[in-house]
Amino acid sequence: MNAASASNKSSTLKENDARQMGRIVSVTGSQAIVLLDPHDASKSSQNNSSPELGTLLAIRSSSSIVFGMVSALSVPVPSHDSAANEMHIVELELLGELPLDEHGEPLTFRRGVSVYPCLGNRARVATREELKHVYSISNTNSAVRIGSLQQDSAIPTMVAVDELLGKHFAILGTTGTGKSCVVALILRAILKENPQAHMILLDPHNEYSSCFGNMAEIVTPSDLNLPFWLMTFEETVEVLIGNQSDRELDASVLAELIPLAKSYYAAKNTPSASGCSRLQRRTTDSGIFTVDTPVPYRISDLMILLQEKMGSLDQRSTLAPYKRLKTRLEAITQDPRYSFMFGNLTVHDDMASVLCRLFRIPVNGKPITIIELTGFPSEVTNVVVSVLCRMTFDFGLWSEGYVPITLICEEAHRYVPEDTNLGFEPTKRAISRIAKEGRKYGVSLGIVTQRPAELDATILSQCNTVFAMRMTNEKDQEIVKAAISDAATSLMEFIPSMRDREAIAFGEGLALPGRIHFDPLPEHALPKRGAASFSDQWTKEITNTEFIDSVVARWRASSAPETIADLTTQELENSDTNDHQENTETTPSRSPAQGLENFDRRSSIETQTPPSHQPDRRSENLMLTSKPAPSIRLKSPAEALGVGGFARPSSNLENASENTPE
Ligand SMILES: Nc1ncnc2c1ncn2[C@@H]1O[C@H](COP(=O)(O)OP(=O)(O)OP(=O)(O)O)[C@@H](O)[C@H]1O
Ligand SMILES: [Mg+2]
């Protein structure tokens, strides 16, 4: 050791001595009690005052420095006379230790304590150097900055990407605390370091489209293509039958006919099968597919099969399920809200290109897919979310984790509610499966919710990194506390009183639990739709009432069987004419008698469409676009007026771009 470092060390030791504030008087397992020194007027107030809750204290033992977080402060026997004579007690949760080498130099911080402090050991507030050691991530290659430590803003909060994503994470907090901003902040930080990532974000409020600039592939209801044949039996039943009383009966008909329709499609599209009769081909291939196998089939074939079955039954009463299914199929294929599933006139096996777009393979500069869910009617949203979550897991499963994928689920309590009577069973199952087994197949989950108490508790317990923001509801707080296994429990006491943009962060993605302050997000990357600024809006008169038409059109379009878009009356008339021309050619009539004939015609259109007239399914932009969706994208009222809508409340962003890694 040279003279300079020796003198440095001695000055550090002196400084540390000056910071000492008390001695250990009790150690029980992971807890310790410090009795603070009597108030000494000669010491500076900073060193002589009681530490705050959540502060990290350091206790020097023989071979290491043990760190404990202040979990409680008390004066067991308060006195009326003089505060100087009172005992001040500090309770600590022991979190980890910094081993020292033979020269007293710190090695690497580790969680847990192997050498406990002894009675009489002196305790002091941890120095900035020590905090840096404690809160640094050992594998800095895969760590990204998301904020700073509340105890000392000079200490960055880093998250270890592999641990964060590999073992799932959750962002919890009351509405308006900044959850969506944290999602954007964390994902942007990860994407900056990992431009070849594969993320998929379910965006129920269409708020994330601007957060990632041109790094995001935005999928809207009008350009989503999720062919109906990708659905499992359960999802198909939900869409085609729903919760009606004769569900079982109708479902059994589908269970019998869907595999046949799949076999029929396969036979018809296998060159060797040409020349065989329809029945022969069907018999040859029957039994290859289960009702859940994700292979194409045609609705027209299903209709033919239904019709054939109906023809072979003589009792009127047994015809009912067939008739119901037929009517439902006719209606749904014409319903523009379902055009993303049933809109393609031709059925192709485009599963690979659907997967490529959703999971960004190849990435093509857009490592994140944002699925905008506003615009889907609620019953459809359930199915879409179910199909997407299940496909994410299945893709991981069948690719054996070749392409790691992260699925972020906003408003997760909607999809995986605790209440067994709520939610959609297949969605719940798909998300639970990712939570429980996804890690083995490179599929990770990010859960965001404002109501942890309404979220299935098993999902939360699988999230190994948690960012708990302010929560005022006691039930929510209890649930989060119950989910915490490590020493951060005492930090939870802060949860009702934290500011916006603050969180208690704990779990495997962080070096140590702590109270953190998130970095500001640059203005251009903020999620859309901040809270409405009432005071701003209510001082301005609305002179242009055009937006009302747009509101009415959007409203109607979400529930009407025929979508009326945001077009002007003239545009609507034109589009009506065009749609009509197209539909008269191909859409089956609702009349049962004509249905079969029309579907037969449609089926022949499908098979006869020359390849050159078919959309290039591999082309990035076209590959998921079905026939021009009748559910034309509706302008928001703000767009209709050409104004910005509700103003987002201004935030303290002056230094945003400097502080936040872009
Ligand atoms: N890191 C941040 N940087 C900049 N502004 C922020 C940040 N976090 C929060 N805000 C501000 O707080 C507002 C609310 O944040 P956000 O929309 O993320 O809250 P939320 O918890 O997702 O709300 P909700 O539950 O309603 O979805 C934002 O509009 C933004 O102005
Ligand atoms: Mg939000």
> What pLDDT sits at residue 182?
96
> What pLDDT sits at residue 441?
93
Contact 602, 299 (CB under 8 A): no
Nearest ligand to the CA atom of 648? 1
Contact 236, 341 (CB under 8 A): no
Instruction: Flag the least confident range among 100-109, 381-390, 496-505.
Output: 100-109
> What pLDDT sits at residue 158?
92
> How far is it, in rounded angstroms, from Cα 68 to Cα 22?
13
Residue with CA closest to ligand 1 atom 29:
530
Instruction: Flag the least confident range among 381-385, 398-402, 557-561.
Output: 557-561
Q: Which amino acid is at 551?
A: V
Residue 28's beta-bridge partner residues?
Answer: 31
365/221: higher pLDDT? 365
Instruction: Flag the least confident range among 66-80, 93-107, 208-222, 276-290.
Output: 276-290
Contact 409, 415 (CB under 8 A): yes
> How far is it, in rounded angstroms, from Cα 299 to Cα 335?
14
Q: What is the DSSP letter of 631?
A: S
- Closest CA relative to residue 165, chosen from 434, 515, 362: 434
Measure 523 CA to ligand 2 centroid, in angstroms: 16
374/84: higher pLDDT? 374
> What pLDDT sits at residue 344?
73
Measure 178 CA to ligand 1 centroid, in angstroms: 3
Q: What is the DSSP letter of 533?
A: -
Instruction: Flag the least confident range among 399-408, 575-584, 589-598.
Output: 589-598
Residue with CA closest to ligand 1 atom 23:
176
Contact 576, 280 (CB under 8 A): no
Does the pLDDT of residue 335 top 90, yes or no?
no
> How far is it, in rounded angstroms, from Cα 120 to Cα 502?
35
Does the pLDDT of residue 256 top 80, yes or no?
yes
Extents of the domains making up the chain: 3-134, 159-225+350-518, 226-337
Max Cα–Cα distance, the chain, nearest Å: 106
- Token pair, residue 162, equals 């592999």
- Token pair, residue 646, equals 């509700």
Q: What is the CATH number of domain 3-134?
A: 2.40.30
- The residue to mutate among 526, 653, 654, having the most atoms of ligand 1 within 8 angstroms of its beta carbon, is 526
End-to-end, the C-alpha distance of the chain in Å comes to 42
Q: Considering the entire predicted model, what is its pTM?
A: 0.77
CB atoms closer than 10 angstroms to residue 613: 8
Contact 145, 121 (CB under 8 A): no
Does the pLDDT of residue 591 top 60, yes or no?
no
Pocket of ligand 1, beta carbon within 6 A: 173, 175-181, 185, 450, 500-501, 518, 520-521, 526-527, 530, 648-649, 651
- Token pair, residue 219, equals 């999928």
- Token pair, residue 608, equals 């006869």
Residue with CA closest to ligand 1 atom 31:
651
Residue with CA closest to ligand 1 atom 24:
175
Does the pLDDT of residue 24 top 90, yes or no?
yes
Helix (H) / strand (E) containing 143? strand 143-149
- Closest CA relative to residue 429, chosen from 450, 473, 465, 459: 459
Cα torsion for 565, 569, 571, 577, to the nearest 10°?
A: 90
Measure 67 CA to ligand 2 centroid, in angstroms: 35
Reported as a pLDDT band with limits 50, 70 and 90, residue 488 is: low
> What pLDDT sits at residue 381?
86
- Token pair, residue 501, equals 């943009």
Residue with CA closest to ligand 1 atom 10:
178
Measure 533 CA to ligand 2 centroid, in angstroms: 16
> How far is it, in rounded angstroms, from Cα 484 to Cα 377?
36
Reported as a pLDDT band with limits 50, 70 and 90, residue 171 is: very high
Reported as a pLDDT band with limits 50, 70 and 90, residue 603 is: very low
Helices (H), 399-500: 412-415, 425-437, 457-461, 474-483
Instruction: Flag the least confident range among 52-61, 115-124, 167-176, 586-595.
Output: 586-595
Measure 419 CA to ligand 1 centroid, in angstroms: 28
**Radius of gyration, alpha carbons of the chain:** 31
Residue with CA closest to ligand 1 atom 15:
178
> What pLDDT sits at residue 85?
73
pLDDT in tens, 516-550: 999 999 999 999 865 567 777 788 888 877 778 87
Percent of the chain with pLDDT over 70: 74
Reported as a pLDDT band with limits 50, 70 and 90, residue 423 is: confident
CB atoms closer than 10 angstroms to residue 440: 11
Measure 55 CA to ligand 2 centroid, in angstroms: 30
Tracing tokens 């990770």 back to the chain, one arrives at 444
Q: Give the DSSP letter string of 276-299.
A: S-HHHHHHHHTTS--TT------H
> How far is it, in rounded angstroms, from Cα 459 to Cα 67?
31
Reported as a pLDDT band with limits 50, 70 and 90, residue 145 is: very high
Q: What φ, ψ does residue 325 adopt, rounded to 5°? A: -65, -40
Nearest ligand to the CA atom of 182? 1
Q: What is the DSSP letter of 423?
A: S
pLDDT in tens, 555-587: 776 655 433 333 333 433 443 334 333 333 333
> How far is it, in rounded angstroms, from Cα 648 to Cα 207?
12
Instruction: Flag the least confident range among 10-14, 86-90, 136-140.
Output: 10-14
The sign of the torsion formed by the CA atoms of 389, 391, 397, 399 equals negative
By 3-state DSSP, what share of the chain in percent is helix, strand and coil, each rounded to 5? 45, 15, 40
> How far is it, in rounded angstroms, from Cα 182 to Cα 410?
12
Q: Which amino acid is at 565?
A: A
Residue with CA closest to ligand 1 atom 26:
175
Fold of 159-225+350-518: Rossmann fold (3.40.50)
Measure 181 CA to ligand 1 centroid, in angstroms: 5
Cα torsion for 630, 624, 364, 199, to the nearest 10°?
A: 90
Classified as helix, coil or strand, 363 is coil
pLDDT in tens, 493-508: 788 888 889 999 988 8
Fold agreement between 3-134 and 159-225+350-518? no
Measure 450 CA to ligand 2 centroid, in angstroms: 8
Ligand 1 atom closest to Cα of 469?
A: 21
Average pLDDT over the chain, rounded to an integer? 77
Measure 176 CA to ligand 1 centroid, in angstroms: 6
Nearest ligand to the CA atom of 529? 1
Q: What is the DSSP letter of 76?
A: S
Burial class (CB in 10 A: 0-12, 13-18, 19+), 536: exposed
> What pLDDT sits at residue 314?
67
pLDDT in tens, 273-323: 444 444 444 444 445 788 888 888 888 888 888 888 887 776 666 778 888
Q: Residues with Cβ within 5 Å of ion ligand 2?
A: 179-180
Measure 527 CA to ligand 2 centroid, in angstroms: 8
- The residue to mutate among 651, 654, 657, 662, having the most atoms of ligand 1 within 8 angstroms of its beta carbon, is 651
